[in-house]
């Protein structure tokens, strides 16, 4: 497993992260097998959120591995806060309470990274700044980031927040390429030329913010996997040909497609299947050719101007 270096911090993270959204559905033994498989494959980065499984994902994670200081130091733990039932909440009080809850459930004294989970329309950046300062000064959180935010939302935070924003977690897969499409179809009067996110891909590259693609195997808004799906026959045919030529699986190639982008992204795999974890990890170190990358992009139904 190759590592990536986040800007403005000292963390050396695995190129691929394990997302823990679905582990609340598993028993403790299966979670232990999943996490230990990830560790064995070189994954040291684990992505959580306070809302995953109503907090059970964090609790069962720490229980399954019998969290202790020695093991904790081998991991990079990231969690997120800000989503509440029927609302979003970036108030100082909620951020601080959410972090305390995550720390208790994860059985740790600190988070390596805290993300603000989706934008809050009622955000008061001054309150966010106060909360992050408290968390940093108390040693409860080392570094900070956001998820699903556009450039101006990040700029608004940056006006008040002292700590650098090092991560933006965004939906991106072979079949969800809006942030790539608009950059290819500049000045074109077609749907794929519509800039819906303020050029977030280029912005993050300019600001050295690491993009974490979530749902890397999903189409639509988590409607299912595009792999082996009859809705995407041409795409799967192309992926399978490339996979066979490299003696790899389609899962490996789907992750390698994301890693080929020069933005040096860190995909978050949310699978609970240990075989898929292993196959995803094999993508680290594989560099698709430019032709292979574009062949996959076009097979997904995209067009070049």
Q: Write down the domain spans for the chain.
A: 3-299
User: So which residues are the catalytic ones?
Assistant: 52
213-232 pLDDT, tens per residue? 999 999 988 789 999 999 99
> What integer best gives the mean pLDDT of the chain?
97
User: Which DSSP category does 122 fall into?
Assistant: T
Class of domain 3-299: alpha beta
28: tokens are 């403790």
- Rounded to two decimals, the pTM is 0.97
Query: Looking at residues 66-81, what average pLDDT do you find?
Result: 96
Report pLDDT for 220. 87
The model's pLDDT over 250-269, given as tens digits with 9 standing for 90+, comes to: 999 999 999 999 999 999 99
Which are the contacts of 90, defined by CB distance < 8 A and separation ≥ 6? Answer: 82, 116, 120, 122, 123, 124, 127, 128
Closest CA to 211 of 173, 181, 239, 184: 173
Percent of the chain beyond pLDDT 90? 98
pLDDT of residue 223: 84
Of all residues in the chain, the percent with pLDDT exceeding 70 is 100
**pLDDT confidence band for 183 (50 / 70 / 90):** very high
């Amino acid at each position: 497993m190759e590592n990536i270096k986040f800007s403005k911090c000292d963390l050396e993270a695995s190129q691929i992260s394990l997302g823990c959204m679905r582990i609340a559905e598993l028993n403790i033994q299966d979670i232990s097998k999943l996490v230990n498989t990830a560790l064995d494959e070189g994954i040291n980065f684990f992505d959580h959120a306070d809302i995953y499984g109503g907090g059970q994902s964090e609790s069962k994670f720490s229980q399954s591995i019998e969290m202790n200081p020695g093991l904790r130091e081998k991991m990079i733990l990231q969690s997120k806060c800000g989503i509440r039932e029927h609302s979003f909440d970036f108030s100082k009080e909620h951020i601080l309470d959410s972090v305390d809850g995550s720390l208790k459930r994860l059985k740790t004294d600190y988070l390596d990274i805290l993300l603000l989970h989706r934008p809050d329309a009622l955000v008061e950046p001054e309150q966010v700044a106060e909360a992050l300062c408290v968390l940093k000064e108390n040693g409860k959180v080392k570094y900070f980031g956001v998820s699903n935010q556009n450039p101006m939302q990040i700029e608004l935070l940056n006006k008040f927040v002292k700590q650098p924003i090092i991560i933006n977690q965004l939906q991106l897969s072979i079949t969800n390429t809006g942030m790539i499409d608009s950059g290819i179809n500049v000045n074109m009067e077609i749907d794929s030329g519509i800039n819906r996110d303020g050029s977030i891909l280029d912005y993050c590259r300019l600001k050295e913010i690491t993009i974490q693609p979530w749902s890397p195997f999903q189409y639509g808004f988590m409607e299912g996997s595009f792999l082996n799906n009859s809705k995407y026959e041409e795409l799967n045919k192309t992926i399978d040909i490339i996979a066979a030529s490299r003696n790899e699986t389609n899962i490996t190639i789907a992750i390698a497609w994301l890693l080929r982008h020069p933005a040096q992204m860190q995909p978050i795999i949310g699978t609970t299947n240990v075989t898929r974890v292993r196959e995803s990890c094999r993508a680290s170190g594989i560099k698709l050719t430019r032709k292979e990358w574009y062949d996959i992009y076009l097979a997904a139904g995209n067009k070049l101007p």
